[in-house]
Every structure is written in structure tokens, then in C-alpha cells.
Amino acid sequence: MVRNLPASRAEVLFPLAAVALDALAIMGSFGLSYWLRFYSPLTQILPVTLGVPPVGRYWEFSLAAVVIFLAVFAARGLYRLHHRVSTVEEFSRVLKATLLALPWLFTVAFFYRDFSYSRAVFGLIAVNALVIVTAERALIQSVQRKLYRRGVGVLNAAVCGTGVLARCLHEKLNGNPHLGYRSRGFIRVDDPQPQVQPLLGDTEAIADLVRREELDLMLIALDLSERPRLDEIVRRCDGLDLEFYFAPDSLVVAEGKIQSTTLAGLPLLKIKESPLFGWKGVVKRAFDIVVAALALALAAPLMVLIALLIKLDSRGPVFYRQERIGLDNRAFLITKFRTMAPDAEAASGPVWARRGDPRTTRLGRLLRRLSLDELPQIFNVLKGDMSLVGPRPERPHFVGQFRQAVPRYLERHRVRSGITGWAQVNGLRGNTSIEERTRYDIFYVENWSPGFDLKILLLTVREVLFGKQAY
């Protein structure tokens, strides 16, 4: 019965469950905060001097708090649960909503003259609500993803287009069932001989196709020559209960980075500069230095141990240095722990490592799987050749190939190369599609923020602990 739950009903049930659990979490945070302030060992630090107030007063006020928190959560879009967000993003969303709800909570408490509430309890409520709601939200996400993997509440999608971007979208949707989408196939626009499967039909009969396949949303991924057909496609779907998403090809034009402006009354379009110019570049560099110095202090004993194990495991140097291309196309020497036999490329020339690579040493396989071979790059960060987060640097041999074959490839070099990056935490490591990696790298360059860097670092920790991409 649950397996046959339609997506339309799931779209109602999931948010209702979230509302109910959020309400319980808020009330639970009140109860926990009351206990911590008046009955826990915390009273040894903050003695209770005016007696213990009746708990009923706090339970009564928690009902008003539930209304306030739920209203703010709804206004901030926290109940649009089919829009996939990571645990880090969910924490950020809950934090912002909690900070918005607290002033309203304090205002209501201030005007309620019949009873004076403890300020310490309210401070604890702020912390506990954030922690409990975030944990509860993580639980909801976990259950929701498991249900999606079983096909419960999944939305049916189709990709309008047959080009590279369309194929990428189709593969992403069907390769990540936990997202809650299922791509039924492709819809042909102008391509006379589309090399895609399954092909559902063409745009001439798109309305009938939507009804037949019971589609919930349409992903429009048109080639540049097909863009004039966009209005026609949308018009043919008039009257249908269907969501539309347009996927711009960032390798053709940075459409999301265009600003409208005027000059002497004339309308102009301005392409935004990289966000790492000026003070933002200073902030990023300062963050790199502080975090890299702390990381070096913490990792130093482990690095010494790895160096000793490398000497015991195989002949050759501990470190491996290789020329890479970084910021402004300048060459620098990247430093890693050696994981392969000396002169591993003497016969083959420059090639990427592959799974089960015979050149890798016994210890090297373990180091690469855990990404511990990257630790010496902390020195590159402190020196200024690299950043903690940024596009991964490539060798001159490969850069020479990619700059000719991949549009906008060199835009990756507008920022310092990174130990980790947006492409890597999305599973694009090693011998993977350079076009797709470039797409993710350019997105990072054009959308940098301190929060984005922090998110990537946290996702990197998760990838190191649980990922299976490194080899």
C-alpha cells in the first residue's frame, strides 16, 4: 500500500509529518531547557535564587512558540520538502529561521505581564531548538530518501532535449533515486536522429505524452539552436498540471551571471566579475591560512607516521612533487605523499590513475582511498600556490588538451586551485568527465561565498569517511 503512494499525496503527507515533528521538537526544546535550567547540574553554575517556577507556565508558552516557529518555518520554505538539500544546507536554513523566530518569541514573552520567564531558559531554548529541529529534520530526510529509493512518492519527469546536457540530466536523476525523481525518458525537439533512449516522442504531441506518462515535471535542456522553440513547448502544455525547469548550459553562456544595468539611460547587460576580487579574496586567503595552520598542527603526528610507513613499504622518496597549473595559468609544484612506484610514468607518459592501477603501492592504495596522500598540500596552501577549496589543478600536458577541447576550461584558473572542490564532492574525481567537472568548477568560481567553501569542506569530510570514488 505504501509502495503505491502517489507523488501528489506524498507531497502533502511529507510536509504534514514535518509540521507535526517540528511542533514536537519545539515543545521538547522547552521541556529540556526547563530541566537544564532548574534541575540539571547546570544549577551549580547558575544557582536558582528565586525558586523553581511552575512547569505548566512554560508548557503553555510553548504552544505560542510552536505557532511562531511553524509560521516562520513555512515562510522560509522549510516545508517544500521535495527540493533536495544537504544536511549542511538544512542546518543553515533551520538556523536562519530560528534566528528570525526568536525576536517574535521574546516580544510575546515581554508583553505577557502575568509571569516573568527566565532569560536563561530562553537562551537554552534557542540552542536546543536548533539542535533538536536539525536532528529531527535529518531523520525526516533519511526516511524520505529510503522511501524514494523504494519508489514511494517519486515524481515522474521527462527531459525535453536530446543533447549532452539533456543526457546528463537524465543520468543524474536516474542515478540518484534518493532525490525523489524518476526520468521517464527524452522528448525530441529538432534533432532528426537523436541518439538517446528511451525516446518518448517529440514536441508535436507533447501534451498527449505528458498525460500518457503521468509526468509531474518537465526538464527543458535545449541546445542553443533549439532555444527559439521554448515558448512553443511551454504553450503546448498550457492547462496541464506540470512544473517546468529550464537548465541553462553554463558552458555556452553564463546566463545566471548576467545583471541588468543602465548607462546614461541606455539598458545594458553586465557580466559579473569573479566574486574573489577585492576584500572577498582577502577573506578567503585569511580563512585558508588559519584553517591550514590548524590542520597542519592536528595532522602533523599522522603525517610523520605516514612518512615512516612509506619508507618501510617501498623504496623511494616520501613525497611526490609534480608540476601543475594554477591561478592565472601559472605553474607550481604540488606536493603529495608518494603512492606509486618511483618513475611510474617513465614508460607510459602522463596518464590518469585508474581503479586497480598496478603502479600503486600497497600502502598507496590505502592512502589514496582515504585521500591521506593529499595532506602535504597543506604546505601548498600556506605557501599561496593553492587554496583549501577550488578547482583541482591539472598537469600542463592535460591543460593543453582540455583548453582546446572544452569551452571555457581556462576559467577554472581565475581562482587558486584547491585541495578539494565542488566537482570532487559531487563524485567527479579521477578519470571522470572533464566537461562535467569543468561545469561544476565554473559554477564554483561564479558562485563563491564563505558559506559555500564551508559546505564543500564539510561534504569533503563526509566523502573521505564514506565515499568510494578515490583510487
Q: Do 300 and 446 belong together in one domain? A: yes
Determine, yes or no, domain membership for 377: yes
Q: What is the pTM of this model?
A: 0.52
Res 309 pLDDT > 50? yes
Assess whether 396 and 307 both reside in one domain. yes
Rounded CA separation 20/107 (Å)? 24
437 domain-assigned: yes
Res. 55 pLDDT band, cuts 50 70 90: confident
Residue 260 inside a domain? The answer is no
Looking at 133, 149, 165, which one is the last position of a domain?
A: 149
Average pLDDT over residues 206-212: 88
Q: Structural domain tally of the chain? A: 3
How far apart (Å, rounded) are the C-alpha atoms in residues 347 and 199?
45
Per residue in 257-305, pLDDT (tens digit) is 555 555 445 555 455 555 566 677 888 999 999 999 999 999 999 999 9
Q: Which domain holds residue 48?
A: 7-149
pLDDT number for residue 48 = 74
Res 281: pLDDT: 82
Quick one: 360 and 431 in the same domain? yes
Local structure of 294: helix, strand or coil: helix
Per-residue confidence band for 113, with pLDDT thresholds at 50, 70 and 90: low
**Structural domain includes residue 160:** yes
For residues 188 and 268, what is the distance between their CA atoms, to the nearest angstrom? 35
Last residue of a domain, one of 149, 168, 185: 149
| Residue 220: how many other CB atoms lie within 10 Å | 24
Q: Check whether residue 285 and residue 357 sit in a common domain.
A: yes
Strand order in the sheet with 199-202: 199-202, 181-188, 155-160, 217-220, 243-246
Statement to judge: residues 123 and 205 lie in one domain: no
Question: Which pLDDT score is estimated for 1?
Answer: 42
Among residues 228, 247, 266, the one where a domain terminates is 247
Over the chain, what is the mean pLDDT? 82
Kindly state whether residue 259 falls inside one of the protein's structural domains.
no
Query: Does one domain contain both 89 and 134?
Result: yes
